Amino acid sequence: MKSILKYSKAWVAGAAVVSLAACQSSAPEPAAEARAPIDVKTAAVASTTWPTTHEAGGVVRAHLVAVGGRADVRIDRGAGEAEGDWQQSTVAEVANIDPARHSFTVKVNLPAAEGLRSGLFGRVRVLGPSRTVLAAPRSAIVRRGQLSFAFVVDGEGSARLRMVSVGEESGGEIEVLAGLHEGDQVVLDPPASLEDGRPVRGAARATAAGEAK
């Protein structure tokens, strides 16, 4: 009876060893699959020319505002609704210029839009002299809390997550203040499965300045 028990224990232990070896040999396969390249679209960060903007509530010089001139408008839709995008409009009237108080009144033609009603809050900005900025597609920017990031494709074809500082937006592009360089290829609309160091593949589209890459 003792010999049978010893034999059984030895057989069970042997089965456990074989089973463990089989698990260890198959473990790398899912890991390798997880690091397979992800298909993405990319665009190049580029220098471009934007007009300087002055938003109401800050310092706006009266000589920058003229009837018929361009003014951008953004309407706050109210509690629980997303803030709208900047929309191009024109200045309808400039009045009540008071040099002593450094104030004046500007009336703007609101662009046609659904849901406009009395009592909504809006912002207005007027355009000044042009300036050169570094810009990237807005869809390349990943927001995480109060921080902004972008995935940059390195020379080995891997996506590298970088923290960036961004500024104003215009026409689907966003100003890059720090964190990216001209010519960097950034991933557009990064999928949730993309993490730092993950291989990617895909064709670049037009640059932020509109030049095809």
Q: Can you give the three-state secondary structure of 159-170, one letter per residue?
A: EEEEEEEEEEEE
141 and 78 inside one domain: no
In a domain, 175, yes or no: yes
CATH number at residue 76: 2.40.30
Q: Is residue 211 part of a domain?
A: no
Full domain range(s) for residue 22: 2-31
Distance CA 87, CA 29 (A): 51
Could you tell me the two tokens for 84?
């709208």
Q: Give the pTM.
A: 0.56
Residue 207 lies in a domain: no
Q: 70, 32, 33, 77: which is closest to 53 by C-alpha?
A: 70
Helix/strand/coil for 38: strand
Q: Residue 209: inside a domain, yes or no?
A: no
100 membership: H or E segment, kind and range: none
> Are 92 and 118 found together in one domain?
yes
CA 190, 194, 198, 202 dihedral sign is: negative
Tell me, yes or no, whether 107 and 40 share the same domain.
no
Distances (CA, A) of 73 to 136, 156, 160: 22, 43, 36
**208, part of any domain:** no
Evaluate whether residue 195 is within a structural domain: yes
Average pLDDT per run of 10 along the chain, which is 213 residues long? 43 43 46 73 92 60 73 72 72 80 79 75 77 93 94 93 91 92 95 92 57 45
| Phi and psi torsions of 155, nearest 5° | -65, -15
Does any domain span residue 210?
no
Residue 59 resides in a domain: yes
Which one of 130, 154, 186 terminates a domain? Answer: 130
* Pair 111, 149 in one domain: no
Last residue of a domain, one of 94, 109, 130: 130
For 172, list phi and psi in degrees, rounded to 5: 85, 0
pLDDT reported for residue 46: 95
Per-residue pLDDT at 83: 60
Total number of domains in the chain: 3
Is the domain of 44 the same as that of 18? no
